Chain A
């Protein structure tokens, strides 16, 4: 007990855990929603990774969540690919949100080809973000998408049913959307940080 150990030696040896390591860096891929950016460890979407968005039903705000990001990317002359959306996108509505439709590619793929097309787009390295609605994606398929997103340095968004929440997922970020009347976002998993205990309200898009 007499030996005096300098504090810096302990810190350098990484034997002491410091409550808060460093300030959260400003994210390179902000979501466009300040409340959400504040709780995510990367300050936004995890870069070059798969983000999984779990929905109770279609049309509860999933597009509202990602459209600011798509607007930012397309205005920066980057391409975005939408693979097999469940409904027809309304061009006027997307443009109102600031999306440059000249940079958005839509791909109609059959149920079997959705994952193939998504992986091709992610891997190509020419897309900034790829959105997909796969029906039958298991753990291995998602892992492939995650690897493809890393290879192609792209943001991958996968929209799935909420029932998949109980299954483990290789996605770097899992968000769960809660349906109205109280639309809010739960962060269910985020790589590199603690899962926030509170839900984040998702404001309405209009009015």
Chain B
């Protein structure tokens, strides 16, 4: 077993900064309205002398201009779960710890390469998403968690060296129960190493069985007992814009970020997406929905973005936009399109499915279609979009162009080339027809498919051209 721990010291702050990069001082505040305290501060704020734990009133006395945003527990939870979903692509055993994500990687290394390589992949992913982090690896999840609080990048790969690594961890960073951390230093015990050599009976009598269990989980004598993270079956991401946007082009950047997040999420669960919704939120709870539908399930970020942008460009914004939300409920399995090894097409060919998506994105959902025959003999109903019944080929002559609405024949008498073929059907559904169809040559020499009333050969109506 080898557990990697990704510790996210600035989870709340990074979640806000990644969508509203700011140079100025910014702090997160929490607590009752009359006693707000700073729970997180960015670099600019810290340089100005603000620090975590400070009262908001004290901070305002120190610095006149800074942004204070209320700490939103729900959004922090959401980011935490989102990052777990990102980590899920590296391992099926992912668990959430306070401000950290742990994942079991001993089996993943077979696929992604040895730990240094896997570590750099994890770092790249989290840095790209804009989250500061500290990484460590250890044979147990809790030990990895403890190591990240002490240093960054430490990797303890075997159980034998684990005790050594834990020796020097100060007791206040050991993540043991709070009462233990408060009591032990007064007994002269300052590192984890000292706790681990204490007689267990004495520890149990003084602090109860809970401490022994924590220590055993740390060293691997007890299984970690963590609940495994399971990725949700829907994707729902909301971004609040920090000013009102009246022009679509200003929405492109946040949409790109959201779609990239969606692609990361889809890749981690090896799924695809066929339909998602971009909700542009206006004032007072009004919103505009932009639906992005694809013909087949896809997951490539660049492609999803291209389609989303195509749809967005056609939207007329009725009001300024305050927030964006990306909702994906239907996440079908992703089946990569198979390609022939001896494919004759050029190497950089765009698959026909992608071409259809691109055309649909600009021309509309119904603009690209295939036609097939139906069982109905009436010309008006003999063909339908995208039906491929194995209907036998019609034995009687049929034109190549069909007129949507028959037109009367003008000019002189036509020459009959073939016919008649009588169609008498449809009496059961109100669309009754009773016509004699002929192939005729008009006085201008064109070949047409025309009908007239049974046995009459006058009042010709042209229904198609033999082009």
Where the two chains meet, the residues of A that have a C-beta atom closer than 8 Å to any C-beta of B are 58-64, 67, 79, 85-97, 101-102, 104-110, 113, 116-117, 120-121, 123-127, 151-153, 179-181, 183, 204-207
Contacts and interface: CB of A to CB of B under 8 A. Distances in A.
Contacts of B345: 125-126, 153
A48 to B, nearest CB: 10
Contacts of B354: 124
Q: Which 10 A-B pairs have the closest CB atoms?
A: A180-B445, A125-B349, A59-B465, A90-B402, A93-B398, A87-B401, A92-B398, A91-B383, A124-B350, A181-B445
Interface string B335-369: 00000000001101111101110110011101111
Given A60-B446, A93-B464, A97-B400, 15 more contacts: A58-B401, A79-B352, A86-B401, A90-B400, A92-B398, A95-B394, A108-B368, A113-B363, A121-B359, A125-B349, A153-B345, A179-B444, A205-B400, A206-B417, A206-B418
Contacts of B302: none
Contact of B379 (A90, A96, A107): A90
B98 to A, nearest CB: 51
B373 A91 contact: yes
Contacts of A90: 379, 383, 398-402, 464
A88 B401 contact: yes
21 contacts: A58-B467, A59-B466, A63-B467, A86-B401, A90-B398, A93-B397, A94-B400, A95-B393, A105-B368, A106-B371, A108-B368, A110-B363, A117-B362, A121-B359, A124-B350, A125-B349, A126-B352, A153-B346, A179-B445, A204-B447, A205-B400
A169 B45 CA distance: 67
Given A91-B373, A125-B349, A107 B444 contact: no
A152 B371 contact: no
A124 B446 CA distance: 37
A205 B465 CA distance: 11
Contacts of A60: 446, 467
B403 interface: yes
Contacts of B64: none
Contacts of B369: 105-106, 108
Nearest to A83: B359
A102 B388 contact: yes
B363 A59 contact: no
Interface of B: 345-346, 348-352, 354-356, 358-359, 362-364, 366-373, 379, 382-383, 388, 393-394, 397-404, 417-418, 439, 441, 444-447, 464-467
B363 A58 contact: no
Nearest to A64: B467
B363 A87 contact: no
Contacts of B465: 58-59, 87
B370 A102 contact: yes
Contact of B356 (A105, A125, A206): A105
Contacts of B371: 89, 91, 101, 104, 106
A124 B400 contact: no
A74 B446 CA distance: 28
* Central interface residue in A87, A93, A179, by most chain B CB within 10 Å: A93
Given A87-B402, A91-B371, A108-B367, A207 B418 contact: yes
B394 to A, nearest CB: 4
Given A106-B370, A109-B363, A125-B345, A206 B447 contact: yes
A64 B441 CA distance: 16
A153 B349 CA distance: 10
